[in-house]
Structure formats: structure tokens, C-alpha cells
Amino acid sequence: CHTFGFRSFFLFGESPVYDRPTFEQLSGLNTATPQGLLAARDFLGNARMGYKAALCQRDIAIYLAMGLNGLIYGRLARGRARPLPWVWLVLIGVMPIGLDGLSQLLSQPPFNLLPYRESDWTLRLITGGLFGTSVAWLVFPLLDGMLDTPRPASVVRRSIG
């Protein structure tokens, strides 16, 4: 996770999020240079801005969505749900996060192939949440099916002794 300060949440400061211009202004860093990007990644925070979370906004959304959907799955669907079809994983999870991330990447140096754009924290939360949700509904039923698979009698007899 890159954890750039302008793509991370901050705790105990003036704001939980800072867009790139505000982050640059308050931190004194110029993120237009490679050195500035490295400094934005390594920036931990300060008393005014708050202190940076250990993961970027999109990763937090992915893990939070997977955790919440795991709780929902365990409570309501365990043993009954089928895995999300791969095509839905691609359409719901991979396409939105891929389009957002790739279009942002290709709009910035060194590529500059598209008009400049920087996704905001809400779009990162939405695309991360969609990805985490779709992965959860693929993986949890698969894991559930593997863990509940009956073992052959020969394996059970060998393990008993």
C-alpha cells in the first residue's frame, strides 16, 4: 500500500482526509516530484493535520468490506450461499477499481495520456468497498465448502489410530 498522505485517512487532526492541494499546503511537500511522492508516503502526520492511518483509503475500504461481509456471511448465509460467479466479481469488483485506478494513473506523470484526474476519498471508498464485497462473496462460500467437506472414512480411521 502506497499510503500517500493525500490518499490516506488522518486521525486526531483538523480533518480525516486531505486532497492533494490541501495536503501539499499543510505538509509543505511538493508531490509533483518523485522525491515529494516518497515524502508524502513517509509523512506520518503532525499535531495539526493528525496522524496518518497505516493503510490507504482504498485498502481500508477493501478490508472493512471483507470483514463486514464475512460477519454477514457467517451470520446469515453460512453453508447456504454459493460463490459469486467470476463474471460478477469482474463486473462488480475489478472493473470499477481498475477503471478508477488505471485512469488516475494514466492521467498523471510520467504518463499524462489522459486529462489529469485524482479520485477523491469517496470514490476510493466506493470502489474499494465494491471490490472487498465481491471478493468476500466469492471467497467465503469457497472456504466454507472446503472446510465442511466430509473426510473419507479411510482418513478418519488413520487419524484415530
Cβ-based neighbour number of residue 86 at 10 Å:
10
What's the pLDDT score for residue 145? Answer: 86
106-109: long-range pairs with CB below 8 Å, 24+: 109/32
| Contact between 23 and 31 (Cβ < 8 Å) | yes
Kindly report the pTM of this predicted structure. Answer: 0.86
Mean pLDDT (the chain, rounded): 91
Q: How many CB atoms lie within 10 A of CB 115?
A: 8
10's enclosing H/E stretch is: strand 8-11
Alpha-carbon distance of 63 to 39, in angstroms, equals 25
Q: What pLDDT, on a 0 to 100 scale, did the predictor assign at position 158?
A: 52
Query: What gap in Å lies between CA 3 and CA 44, rounded to an integer?
Result: 10
DSSP summary character for residue 7: G
Q: Grid cell 471490490 — which residue?
A: 131
- 82 phi, psi to nearest 5 deg: -95, 150
* Tens-digit pLDDT profile for residues 28-69: 999 989 999 999 999 999 999 999 999 999 999 999 999 999
SS3 8: strand
Q: Which residues of the chain have pLDDT under 50?
A: 155-156
